[in-house]
Amino acid sequence: MKTNSGLIKIVATLCVIGLVFFSLNAFGLTDKLTDVKTMQAWFQSLGIWGYLAYILVYIVVAVFMLPASALTIIGGIAFGSIAGGLLSVTGATIGGTVAFIIARYVARDTILEKFCSNPIFKKIEEGAAKNGTNFLILTRLVPLFPYNVQNYAYGVTSINVFTFALVSFITMTPGSFIYAFLAGEIATNGFSIVLLVQFTIAGIVLFFISLIPNYFAKKKGIDI
Protein backbone atom coordinates (compact mmCIF):
# COMPACT_ATOMS: atom_id res chain seq x y z
CA MET A 1 0.00 0.00 0.00
CA LYS A 2 2.84 2.37 0.93
CA THR A 3 4.63 1.61 -2.35
CA ASN A 4 1.50 2.31 -4.38
CA SER A 5 0.88 5.55 -2.46
CA GLY A 6 4.46 6.70 -3.08
CA LEU A 7 4.17 5.83 -6.78
CA ILE A 8 0.93 7.79 -7.09
CA LYS A 9 2.58 10.85 -5.48
CA ILE A 10 5.55 10.63 -7.85
CA VAL A 11 3.32 10.24 -10.92
CA ALA A 12 1.12 13.14 -9.75
CA THR A 13 4.18 15.35 -9.21
CA LEU A 14 5.57 14.52 -12.66
CA CYS A 15 2.19 15.26 -14.24
CA VAL A 16 2.01 18.66 -12.54
CA ILE A 17 5.58 19.48 -13.59
CA GLY A 18 4.82 18.42 -17.16
CA LEU A 19 1.63 20.50 -17.21
CA VAL A 20 3.46 23.58 -15.94
CA PHE A 21 6.22 23.30 -18.53
CA PHE A 22 3.66 22.67 -21.29
CA SER A 23 1.78 25.80 -20.20
CA LEU A 24 4.96 27.86 -20.10
CA ASN A 25 5.87 26.77 -23.62
CA ALA A 26 2.33 27.29 -24.89
CA PHE A 27 2.34 30.92 -23.73
CA GLY A 28 5.95 31.49 -24.73
CA LEU A 29 7.07 32.07 -21.15
CA THR A 30 10.03 29.71 -21.20
CA ASP A 31 12.06 32.10 -23.34
CA LYS A 32 10.69 35.16 -21.54
CA LEU A 33 12.04 33.95 -18.20
CA THR A 34 15.57 34.52 -19.49
CA ASP A 35 14.93 37.85 -21.22
CA VAL A 36 14.85 40.84 -18.84
CA LYS A 37 13.47 43.38 -21.31
CA THR A 38 10.79 41.01 -22.59
CA MET A 39 9.70 40.09 -19.06
CA GLN A 40 9.53 43.75 -18.05
CA ALA A 41 7.40 44.65 -21.08
CA TRP A 42 5.16 41.62 -20.59
CA PHE A 43 4.37 42.39 -16.94
CA GLN A 44 3.67 46.03 -17.72
CA SER A 45 1.35 45.08 -20.61
CA LEU A 46 -0.86 43.08 -18.24
CA GLY A 47 -1.82 46.09 -16.16
CA ILE A 48 -3.02 45.22 -12.67
CA TRP A 49 -2.92 41.50 -13.54
CA GLY A 50 0.82 41.89 -13.94
CA TYR A 51 1.18 41.79 -10.15
CA LEU A 52 -0.42 38.36 -9.95
CA ALA A 53 1.48 37.12 -13.00
CA TYR A 54 4.78 38.24 -11.46
CA ILE A 55 4.08 36.37 -8.23
CA LEU A 56 3.05 33.25 -10.16
CA VAL A 57 6.26 33.36 -12.21
CA TYR A 58 8.26 33.75 -8.98
CA ILE A 59 6.52 30.65 -7.59
CA VAL A 60 7.46 28.69 -10.72
CA VAL A 61 11.06 29.90 -10.42
CA ALA A 62 11.24 28.75 -6.79
CA VAL A 63 9.59 25.38 -7.37
CA PHE A 64 11.79 24.53 -10.34
CA MET A 65 14.92 25.89 -8.63
CA LEU A 66 15.64 28.52 -11.28
CA PRO A 67 17.79 31.64 -10.62
CA ALA A 68 15.63 34.33 -9.01
CA SER A 69 17.94 37.35 -8.72
CA ALA A 70 17.15 38.61 -12.24
CA LEU A 71 13.43 38.34 -11.49
CA THR A 72 13.83 40.58 -8.43
CA ILE A 73 15.55 43.19 -10.58
CA ILE A 74 12.78 42.90 -13.17
CA GLY A 75 10.26 43.53 -10.39
CA GLY A 76 11.98 46.75 -9.40
CA ILE A 77 12.10 47.94 -13.01
CA ALA A 78 8.57 46.92 -13.98
CA PHE A 79 6.68 47.87 -10.80
CA GLY A 80 8.88 50.42 -9.08
CA SER A 81 11.08 50.25 -6.01
CA ILE A 82 8.51 49.65 -3.26
CA ALA A 83 5.95 47.55 -5.13
CA GLY A 84 8.73 45.57 -6.82
CA GLY A 85 10.36 44.75 -3.50
CA LEU A 86 7.07 43.73 -1.90
CA LEU A 87 6.07 41.58 -4.86
CA SER A 88 9.51 39.96 -4.95
CA VAL A 89 9.56 38.94 -1.29
CA THR A 90 5.93 37.81 -1.49
CA GLY A 91 6.56 35.67 -4.56
CA ALA A 92 9.77 34.25 -3.12
CA THR A 93 8.07 33.39 0.17
CA ILE A 94 5.05 31.72 -1.44
CA GLY A 95 7.24 29.91 -3.96
CA GLY A 96 9.61 28.70 -1.27
CA THR A 97 6.70 27.54 0.85
CA VAL A 98 5.18 25.64 -2.08
CA ALA A 99 8.52 23.85 -2.60
CA PHE A 100 8.66 23.16 1.14
CA ILE A 101 5.16 21.63 1.05
CA ILE A 102 6.06 19.49 -1.97
CA ALA A 103 9.08 18.15 -0.09
CA ARG A 104 7.06 17.59 3.08
CA TYR A 105 3.85 16.04 1.76
CA VAL A 106 4.23 15.05 -1.89
CA ALA A 107 7.74 13.91 -2.73
CA ARG A 108 9.37 13.42 0.68
CA ASP A 109 10.46 9.80 0.09
CA THR A 110 11.81 10.60 -3.36
CA ILE A 111 13.79 13.60 -2.13
CA LEU A 112 15.23 11.69 0.83
CA GLU A 113 16.25 8.83 -1.42
CA LYS A 114 17.85 11.09 -4.02
CA PHE A 115 19.57 13.59 -1.73
CA CYS A 116 20.26 11.60 1.44
CA SER A 117 24.01 11.71 0.75
CA ASN A 118 24.05 15.34 -0.46
CA PRO A 119 26.27 17.38 1.94
CA ILE A 120 23.98 20.44 1.80
CA PHE A 121 20.90 18.40 2.69
CA LYS A 122 22.77 16.57 5.44
CA LYS A 123 24.08 19.81 6.94
CA ILE A 124 20.63 21.41 6.95
CA GLU A 125 19.00 18.29 8.36
CA GLU A 126 21.58 18.06 11.16
CA GLY A 127 21.48 21.81 11.85
CA ALA A 128 17.68 21.92 11.99
CA ALA A 129 17.58 18.86 14.27
CA LYS A 130 20.11 20.39 16.66
CA ASN A 131 19.22 24.10 16.56
CA GLY A 132 15.71 24.23 15.09
CA THR A 133 14.46 27.67 14.05
CA ASN A 134 17.79 29.31 14.93
CA PHE A 135 19.52 27.37 12.16
CA LEU A 136 16.75 28.30 9.72
CA ILE A 137 17.16 31.99 10.54
CA LEU A 138 20.92 31.75 10.10
CA THR A 139 20.85 30.04 6.72
CA ARG A 140 18.14 32.35 5.42
CA LEU A 141 20.07 35.47 6.41
CA VAL A 142 23.23 34.33 4.65
CA PRO A 143 22.85 32.07 1.62
CA LEU A 144 25.59 29.62 2.58
CA PHE A 145 23.36 27.17 0.78
CA PRO A 146 21.29 28.13 -2.30
CA TYR A 147 17.84 29.44 -1.33
CA ASN A 148 16.04 27.12 -3.72
CA VAL A 149 17.85 24.09 -2.32
CA GLN A 150 16.98 25.18 1.21
CA ASN A 151 13.28 25.24 0.33
CA TYR A 152 13.27 21.51 -0.36
CA ALA A 153 15.83 20.58 2.28
CA TYR A 154 13.85 22.15 5.13
CA GLY A 155 10.74 20.34 3.90
CA VAL A 156 12.18 17.05 5.15
CA THR A 157 13.10 18.44 8.58
CA SER A 158 10.91 18.96 11.64
CA ILE A 159 10.52 22.72 10.97
CA ASN A 160 6.81 23.53 10.59
CA VAL A 161 5.51 25.25 7.47
CA PHE A 162 4.31 28.43 9.22
CA THR A 163 7.69 29.00 10.87
CA PHE A 164 9.47 28.39 7.57
CA ALA A 165 7.25 30.86 5.70
CA LEU A 166 7.47 33.57 8.37
CA VAL A 167 11.25 33.33 8.79
CA SER A 168 11.71 33.27 5.01
CA PHE A 169 9.60 36.40 4.54
CA ILE A 170 11.38 38.36 7.28
CA THR A 171 14.93 37.37 6.34
CA MET A 172 14.48 37.84 2.58
CA THR A 173 12.81 41.25 2.88
CA PRO A 174 15.95 43.45 3.22
CA GLY A 175 17.71 42.03 0.17
CA SER A 176 14.56 42.00 -1.96
CA PHE A 177 13.80 45.65 -1.27
CA ILE A 178 17.38 46.81 -1.75
CA TYR A 179 17.77 45.10 -5.14
CA ALA A 180 14.32 46.16 -6.33
CA PHE A 181 14.90 49.72 -5.12
CA LEU A 182 18.22 50.11 -6.92
CA ALA A 183 16.81 48.56 -10.11
CA GLY A 184 13.79 50.85 -9.95
CA GLU A 185 15.94 53.93 -9.39
CA ILE A 186 18.18 53.09 -12.34
CA ALA A 187 15.16 52.56 -14.59
CA THR A 188 13.47 55.78 -13.44
CA ASN A 189 16.31 58.25 -12.95
CA GLY A 190 19.32 56.66 -14.62
CA PHE A 191 22.82 56.91 -13.20
CA SER A 192 23.61 59.95 -11.07
CA ILE A 193 25.47 61.13 -8.00
CA VAL A 194 22.35 60.47 -5.96
CA LEU A 195 22.29 56.88 -7.25
CA LEU A 196 25.95 56.46 -6.34
CA VAL A 197 25.17 57.57 -2.79
CA GLN A 198 22.23 55.17 -2.68
CA PHE A 199 24.45 52.32 -3.88
CA THR A 200 26.95 53.16 -1.15
CA ILE A 201 24.26 53.18 1.53
CA ALA A 202 22.85 49.90 0.22
CA GLY A 203 26.31 48.36 0.29
CA ILE A 204 26.82 49.47 3.90
CA VAL A 205 23.42 48.09 4.90
CA LEU A 206 24.12 44.74 3.23
CA PHE A 207 27.55 44.64 4.88
CA PHE A 208 26.07 45.06 8.34
CA ILE A 209 23.37 42.50 7.56
CA SER A 210 26.12 40.06 6.59
CA LEU A 211 27.66 40.47 10.05
CA ILE A 212 24.46 39.47 11.84
CA PRO A 213 24.71 35.71 11.12
CA ASN A 214 28.23 35.41 12.55
CA TYR A 215 27.16 37.19 15.73
CA PHE A 216 23.97 35.16 15.84
CA ALA A 217 25.83 31.86 15.32
CA LYS A 218 28.38 32.61 18.06
CA LYS A 219 25.69 33.71 20.50
CA LYS A 220 23.63 30.58 19.89
CA GLY A 221 26.65 28.26 19.66
CA ILE A 222 25.76 27.13 16.15
CA ASP A 223 28.44 25.56 13.99
CA ILE A 224 27.88 26.24 10.28
- Per-position pLDDT tens, the chain of length 224: 444 555 555 555 555 555 555 555 565 555 555 466 777 788 888 888 999 999 999 998 888 888 787 888 888 888 888 898 999 999 999 999 999 999 998 888 788 777 777 888 888 888 888 888 888 888 887 766 788 889 999 998 989 999 999 999 998 898 888 888 777 776 666 656 665 666 667 667 666 666 666 656 666 666 65
Residue 222, classified by CB atoms within 10 Å of its CB into exposed (0-12), middle (13-18) or buried (19+), is middle
User: Hey, what's the torsion of the CAs at 11, 17, 22, 27, to 10 degrees?
Assistant: 150
Can you give the pTM of this predicted structure? 0.74
Any idea where the domains of the chain sit in the sequence?
2-220
**Of 102, 121, 108, residue with least CA distance to 2:** 108
110-154 pLDDT, tens digit per residue, is 887 777 778 888 888 888 888 888 888 888 877 667 888 899 999
